[in-house]
A and B are shown apart, each in its own frame.
Chain A
């Protein structure tokens, strides 16, 4: 079977996977993605059964689901999008800027948490305990 030529004369080499290796890799990654998704769904079911309080078990399951999602993201980009086949210099220009997300997520979630703490003080907009249900206002709903 003929292979395609490089899309541009500026490309030094083209990564070709033979059909056997390719099929094996795709099968492996598909199975990994499906199994991880099923585990995530089981975690979601566990959260449902445990109730939605913020107790430690639920928080830990949520952390686990987040890590599993990051694993799925790795398999999709590395194998399906073939980022793993690119040269290292290029991979770094994609991965390093994404590290900004570490600050981005941490800073804004901490900010949201601090906002809630301030709202719940007497100086904030803390509703009186009996007021909520009588007026039909959800606790924490914006006024």
Chain B
């Protein structure tokens, strides 16, 4: 930890230096991320409140039970792939920041590329999952008639099963809670938008690295700031994963 490295008798508030030992930009990145944490927190807590107020809520193991080439019956498989993709891309980002400390431009370039690739892979997975939910038709009983229903922000087929009623070999259900789709697409979409902007930021950082901008400055602090944002995206996913897929 840092305390051992602090010069003895440092007076942080005597002026002429940053009292937090940080540049303005890095400190503000931290405060931006804190405010972003409250935004995500508010969304997830709204979802929690709605879920606590409902007598019935869809079982995530039933809703998210498919993956490419696996049609149902495989809960947690696809989302665990997505989670590991983000963890790995976080690790490559840490390595890029460390290469930046060592002023090793080639190393930064290599690990930034891997991080960008991880981000794109995650976005691809999310695109598949959204497509699967938005186009997957399930038999639902509405006003005494069976209709085919996909998962959208307006309707979803994830209500309770109607006892003893089958349609084309599948259990017929009632419509699920209306709020389910809105919360799912809203929160995973907001997170996905963060991943997308993180990928764009990382691509810009990669280009700036290649152009030698950071070598000219004598430091790679921009990579650190982009890294903070990228780790935050991973951090948010820990809680999105918890709230939507695990519990």
> A91-143: which have CB < 8 Å to B?
93-94, 97-98, 100-101, 104-105, 108-109, 111-113, 115-116, 119-120, 132-142
Partner among B80, B175, B176 whose Cβ is within 8 Å of the Cβ of A41: B80
The answer on a CB contact under 8 Å between B100 and A138 is: no
The answer on a CB contact under 8 Å between A11 and B56 is: no
Main SS at interface, chain A: helix
Q: A5-B218, A34-B87 are in contact. Are A76 and B246 (CB under 8 A)?
A: no
The answer on a CB contact under 8 Å between A90 and B219 is: no
Give bound CA distance, A85 to B32, whole Å: 19
The answer to the question of B125 belonging to the interface, with a C-beta cut-off of 8 Å to chain A, is: no
The answer on a CB contact under 8 Å between A137 and B102 is: no
Shortest Cβ distance from residue A115 to the other chain B in the assembled complex, whole angstroms: 4
**Quick one: closest A residue to B49, CB to CB?**
A112
The answer on a CB contact under 8 Å between A141 and B234 is: no
Q: Which residues of B contact A15 (CB under 8 A)?
A: 2, 5
Q: Which residues of A contact B178 (CB under 8 A)?
A: 141-142
The answer on a CB contact under 8 Å between B103 and A88 is: no
Give bound CA distance, A16 to B159, whole Å: 55
Partner among B17, B53, B101 whose Cβ is within 8 Å of the Cβ of A16: B101
Give the interface size class of chain B.
35 or more
Contact mask B65-109 → A, CB, 8 Å, 1/0? 000000000011000100110010011011100101111100000
The answer on a CB contact under 8 Å between B90 and A80 is: yes
Give bound CA distance, A121 to B247, whole Å: 27
Q: A37-B84, A87-B21, A116-B55 are in contact. Are A133 and B91 (CB under 8 A)?
A: no
The answer on a CB contact under 8 Å between A13 and B6 is: yes
The answer on a CB contact under 8 Å between B19 and A141 is: no
Q: Which residues of A contact B7 (CB under 8 A)?
A: 12-13
Q: A52-B59, A66-B242, A66-B247 are in contact. Are A104 and B87 (CB under 8 A)?
A: no
Q: Which residues of B contact A1 (CB under 8 A)?
A: 102-104
The answer on a CB contact under 8 Å between B142 and A76 is: no
**Quick one: closest A residue to B215, CB to CB?**
A4
Q: Which residues of A contact B20 (CB under 8 A)?
A: 86-87, 89-90, 93
Which of A3, A26, A47 neighbours the largest number of chain B CB atoms within 10 Å of its CB? A47
Give bound CA distance, A41 to B87, whole Å: 15
Q: Which residues of A contact B23 (CB under 8 A)?
A: 7-8, 10-11
Q: Which residues of A contact B227 (CB under 8 A)?
A: 81
Q: A6-B219, A7-B23 are in contact. Are A133 and B3 (CB under 8 A)?
A: no
The answer on a CB contact under 8 Å between A37 and B87 is: yes
**Quick one: closest A residue to B247, CB to CB?**
A62
Q: A4-B218, A86-B22, A89-B20 are in contact. Are A136 and B175 (CB under 8 A)?
A: yes
Q: Which residues of A contact B169 (CB under 8 A)?
A: none
**Quick one: closest B residue to A95, CB to CB?**
B34
Q: When A and B form their complex, which 6 residue pairs have the shortest distance between CB atoms, in order from nearest? A: A112-B52, A140-B55, A138-B159, A112-B49, A7-B221, A115-B53
Binding site for A on B (CB under 8 A): 1-3, 5-7, 10, 12, 16-27, 30, 34, 37-38, 41-42, 45-46, 48-57, 59, 61, 75-76, 80, 83-84, 87, 90-91, 93-95, 98, 100-104, 140-144, 159-160, 162-163, 174-179, 218-221, 227-228, 231-232, 234-235, 238-239, 241-242, 245-247
Not counting A34-B84, A90-B20, A141-B177, a sample of 7 additional A-B residue pairs whose C-beta atoms are within 8 angstroms of each other reads A2-B102, A5-B218, A13-B7, A80-B93, A87-B20, A98-B34, A136-B140
Provide 16 A-B residue pairs closer than 8 Å at the C-beta atoms, listed in order of the A residue. A3-B103, A11-B22, A17-B101, A26-B98, A41-B80, A47-B246, A52-B59, A80-B91, A108-B46, A112-B53, A113-B52, A119-B55, A136-B140, A136-B143, A139-B55, A141-B56
